[in-house]
């Protein structure tokens, strides 16, 4: 009897699990495109949904809200990490005559090809979050990405000092080698770490920001250097940090080797609360989405002077050697003590992060009520 009950509940569980997976993939499919209907439109191409949770959980809904609030039409699609799909989406948006194309490139070369086509069709382009090197977009909206890196590096140094480690060695786990942001982040944290007197034992760029690849990459580094050969790990985002944290956990080193991240994802914030990640970086995506939408509205209205007045910063395109008019926002480091700021800002909720007994206790201890 007991066995029958067990197997029945196991069966029910697995049916429920299959149903949940089915629902999730259906949701992911229907989510793939969001469209506001006719009229003047902004076309937005997001890069993927695997390299960071942010694109689908933060950027898409916040961009939708910004466009809706401003009464602007939109068509938001996700390239799913596929450069061919990226280019097909762009072709569709160009032929449907979007008024502005906003895009997060998958790499500069394929991104530049799209910008070229849009420009030839008279459609202005905003590089959103990632600058397309050699692309010549009209505007760029992002964060100060070297500063993001600096905050990562400073956070790591703080964590290592708290462990009584004053000169390293440190491992740098960089983002995708084809993402200009990854280069800027790395520049920022490498300088902060070495300026503070720490040595770098290994540096590895993770292809496509792939979390699985990060696991393999970090496992290899860990095997080579050993626990005694690593005092801290600068991981460039929360996805990569998750991979590092799982290798450290397997080796009973959680909390002994500080790990950094970026994006203030729910999982990243949970690790920060539990001490398996030392710091994450909060980039208020709402501000980024609002800035990009305001810029798009000026462009749609033909108000070039108005758009230029918003984009007062400059970013170096190291390929064209030109500067792209930019809006660059300021990132904020998040430690255990100020996870509450991210909740207060409405980026996530207590319910989403304080999910287990252990996390509920950590939330209460850190003022998340």
Q: Considering the rule CB under 6 A, would residue 181 count as an interface residue with ligand BGC?
A: yes
Question: How far apart are the C-alpha atoms of 271 and 282, rounded to whole Å?
Answer: 14
Q: How far is the CB of 130 from ligand BGC (least distance, A)?
A: 5
118 to 157: interface string for ligand BGC, x by CB under 6 A: -----------xx---------------------------
Q: How far is the CB of 139 from ligand BGC (least distance, A)?
A: 17
Indicate the residue among 81 and 229 with the shorter CB distance to ligand BGC: 81
Q: List, as own/partner pairs, every contact residues 23-30 make where C-beta atoms lie below 8 angstroms and the sequence separation is at least 24, other chains included.
A: 28/56
Say if CB 201 and CB 170 are below 8 A apart. yes
**Residues 6+ away with beta carbon under 8 Å from 100:** 42, 43, 123, 124, 125, 126, 296, 299, 300
* Near ligand BGC by CB under 6 A: residue from 77, 150, 183, 237: 237
Radius of gyration of the chain measured on its C-alpha atoms: 22
Q: Considering the rule CB under 6 A, would residue 186 count as an interface residue with ligand BGC?
A: no
Torsion, Cα 222 237 153 216, to 10 degrees, reads 10
Q: How far is the CB of 259 from ligand BGC (least distance, A)?
A: 15
Q: Considering the rule CB under 6 A, would residue 243 count as an interface residue with ligand BGC?
A: no
Tell me the two tokens of residue 118: 């849009």
Q: How far is the CB of 43 from ligand BGC (least distance, A)?
A: 19
Indicate the residue among 73 and 188 with the shorter CB distance to ligand BGC: 188
Site for ligand BGC in 250-289 (CB under 6 A): 262-263
Please report how many Cα atoms fall inside a 13 Å half-sphere around the Cα of residue 19, on the Cβ side. 6
Q: Considering the rule CB under 6 A, would residue 190 count as an interface residue with ligand BGC?
A: no
Q: Which DSSP symbol is given to 275?
A: T
Binding site for ligand BGC (CB under 6 A): 51-52, 54, 129-130, 175, 179, 181, 209, 237, 262-263
């Amino acid at each position: 009897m007991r066995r029958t009950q067990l197997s029945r509940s196991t069966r029910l569980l697995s049916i429920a699990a299959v149903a949940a997976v089915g629902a999730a993939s259906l949701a992911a499919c229907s989510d793939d495109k969001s469209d506001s209907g006719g009229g003047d439109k902004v076309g937005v191409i997001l890069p993927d949904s695997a390299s960071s949770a942010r694109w689908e959980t933060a950027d898409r809904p916040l961009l939708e809200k910004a466009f809706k609030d401003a009464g602007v039409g939109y068509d938001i699609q996700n390239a799913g990490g596929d450069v061919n799909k990226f280019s097909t989406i762009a072709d569709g948006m160009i032929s449907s005559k979007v008024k502005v194309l906003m895009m997060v490139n998958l790499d500069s070369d394929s991104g530049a090809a799209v910008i070229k086509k849009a420009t030839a069709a008279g459609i202005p382009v905003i590089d959103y979050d990632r600058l397309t090197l050699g692309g010549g977009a009209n505007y760029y909206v992002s964060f100060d990405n070297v500063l993001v890196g600096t905050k990562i590096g400073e956070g790591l140094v703080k964590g290592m000092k708290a462990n009584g480690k004053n000169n390293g060695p440190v491992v740098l786990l960089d983002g995708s080698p084809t993402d200009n942001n990854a280069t800027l982040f790395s520049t920022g944290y490498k300088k902060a770490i070495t300026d503070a007197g720490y040595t770098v034992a290994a540096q590895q760029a993770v292809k496509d920001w792939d979390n699985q690849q990060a696991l393999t990459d970090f496992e290899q580094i860990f095997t080579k250097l050993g626990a005694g050969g690593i005092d801290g790990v600068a991981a460039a985002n929360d996805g990569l940090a998750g991979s590092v944290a799982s290798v450290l956990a397997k080796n009973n080193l959680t909390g002994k080797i500080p790990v950094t991240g970026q994006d203030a994802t729910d999982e990243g914030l949970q690790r920060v609360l539990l001490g398996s990640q030392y710091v994450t970086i909060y980039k208020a995506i709402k501000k980024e989405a609002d800035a990009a939408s305001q810029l798009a509205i000026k462009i749609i209205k033909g108000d070039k002077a108005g758009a230029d007045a918003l984009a007062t910063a400059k970013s170096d395109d190291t390929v064209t050697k030109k500067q792209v008019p930019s809006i660059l926002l300021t990132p904020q480091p998040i430690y255990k003590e100020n996870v509450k700021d991210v909740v207060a800002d409405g980026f996530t909720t207590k319910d989403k992060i304080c999910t287990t007994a252990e996390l509920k206790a950590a939330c209460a201890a850190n003022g998340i009520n």
